[in-house]
Structure 1
């Protein structure tokens, strides 16, 4: 592994402008609207996911294919990396560098934590959180069997609720959610309340200038209003379209805010 330099970061950063966010065989049945449309209330229940994760033995991602994950990881981390001047250290691969802390909410069996861990050329702490123990165990086993992109990178996992995060405030540079809030919102009784609690917790654990990114197939007309009315007033939301509409029967969106 080579020393991290400005040139390395610049080359890595080019992926932001060149990566195409494509969805092949789009797994987008997790969400369309709130509530219990089509009997999807089961997606808000822990028992459903416990069974699914016991049966599923390989990585699986809602909304985006594995091909799109590196671009998403780069999109999340590049701005953070640009603020850290790794090139000041003559041999950044061996000097101790404070890691970029990343939290994946409702990690499931997504490949996103793996890509953060193996692909990032600077120290990153990848924190996997899910309320199903099988999902956390899957991530830890997968990542610990993988060579990291930087020797100082590390991984941790915790089984907990996204509505009550077991972390101190102002800890994470990046927090990601891909389908987790969509699952919460399938609870017709308390889904909206849980989503509001989750957003409050995200804002709390983010560092100043930290980034939150949420991936969903819900269009901005609905999701932007929900996010703006259920999140702390300090959150200034933006959205972008991630998918090539020719590759999927619906568009996938990224909703973000910086603290």
Structure 2
């Protein structure tokens, strides 16, 4: 399973080559390569992963919180407002420790929602944080795990209500699936709808800027309604792969 997890952190063209040796997990590997946009695929992934280890272990797509905290935490300090906790959503959270780490380290009161389409991943994380009794830096902060299809974010959150959305590999998984590209566009659209005008979407990815920037600039537009500013910073290289942080900020179109 460890080899399988390693191969999943690589880009599409490298997954096939890396999975040649995974004969004992070939069925799950094939399903992941082609169907990373499906709920049933991730239910199976988390069920099999948890059944093979006696104790819970977070699975980090790409890298952990430490690698990207300098992109996330300073951004939160600039988004304070007077109407309660900052709202942060980790979309497609799986069993990552990213959301809980934001909850633990944020100086300001923050409400962190870790959302995933797989109820198995959500249950595993709920059980884990109960056992660990994770404490926030700010006593007013809150942490929750919810089963949620991120193509329907707008049904869970109102417009202009979220300060920060973090996407660590979720859009990559959708874009690399046979039927996922349209879903990736829907997720992006939903993110822009629920973000405050001062809010930000951070996408962490190993996709080259030449491809991702063009996709974001094209998809993050709704003529006459919504536009977005898009930027990119290099996160760094890990295991020979270069990772990037794509920052998307919604901008309402002012009608003349």
Give the alignment's TM-score, normalised by structure 2: 0.76
Check if 1:123 corresponds to 2:114.
Answer: no
Instruction: Specify whether residues 83 and 210 from structure 1 end up closer, same or farther in structure 2 by C-alpha distance, changes over 3 A only.
Output: closer
Tell me the CA shift for residue 37 of structure 1: 6.5
Give the aligned partner of residue 147 of structure 2: 159
Does the 8 A contact of 1:108 with 1:136 survive in 2?
yes
* CA distance 1:85–1:50, shift in 2 (3 Å): closer
Aligned to 1:210: 199
1:50 to 40, 43, 46: 43
Superposition deviation, residue 146 in structure 1: 0.7
Tell me the secondary structure at the aligned position of residue 151 of structure 2. Answer: coil
Higher relative contact order (CA 8 A, sep 6+): 1
Q: Which runs of 5+ in 2 are unaligned?
A: 18-29, 51-55, 251-256
Matched, 1:226 2:212: no
Asked if 1:29 corresponds to 2:3, the answer is no
Please name the residue that 2:21 is paired with: none
Q: CA deviation at 1:50?
A: 0.9
Listed one character per residue, the Cα deviations across residues 64-111 of structure 1 (whole Å, up to 9, x for unaligned) are 1x3xx145234223233235389xxxxxxxxxx821110000010111
Consecutive unaligned residues in structure 1, runs of 5 or more: 1-25, 87-96
Aligned to 2:161: 171
**Which region of structure 1 is more displaced relative to structure 2, 162-171 or 42-51?**
42-51
Q: Does 1:106 pair with 2:92?
A: yes
Relative to its length, the structure with more strand (as a share) is: 2
Could you state the TM-score of these two structures normalised by the residue count of structure 1? 0.75
* Closer, same or farther: CA 85–103 of 1 in aligned 2, 3 Å: closer
Does structure 1 conserve the Cα–Cα contact (< 8 Å) formed by 2:201 and 2:249? yes
**Segment drifting more, 177-186 vs 40-49:** 40-49
Alpha-carbon distance in structure 2 between the residues aligned to 1:82 and 1:197: 28
Q: Is the 8 A contact 1:177 1:214 kept in 2?
A: yes
- Matches of 2:103 and 2:129 in 1, distance apart? 7
Give the aligned partner of residue 62 of structure 1: 61
What is the distance in 2 between the residues matched to 1:156 and 1:135? 13
8 A Cα contact 1:130 1:136, kept in partner: yes
State whether residues 28 and 217 of structure 1, in contact with CA within 8 Å, keep that contact through their aligned partners in structure 2. Answer: no
Distance 1:212 1:252 in 2: 16
Q: Which residue of 2 aligns with 1:181?
A: 171
SS in 2 for 1:43: coil
TM-aligned CA deviation for residue 197 of structure 1: 0.6
- Stretch of structure 1 that moved more, 159-168 or 228-237: 228-237
4+ residue stretches of structure 1 with deviation over 4 A?
A: 36-39
1:114 and 1:142 in contact (8 A); partners too: no
Q: Secondary structure, in 3 states, of the residue corresponding to 2:160?
A: coil
Please list, as runs of the form range in 1=range in 2, the aligned pairs for 1:245-256 lying within 5 A after superposition.
245=237, 247-256=238-247
* Pair 1:151–1:74, CA change in 2 (3 A): farther
Q: 1:83 to 1:164 in 2, by over 3 A?
A: closer
Contact kept? 2:91, 2:166, Cα under 8 Å? yes
Q: CA deviation at 1:120?
A: 1.4
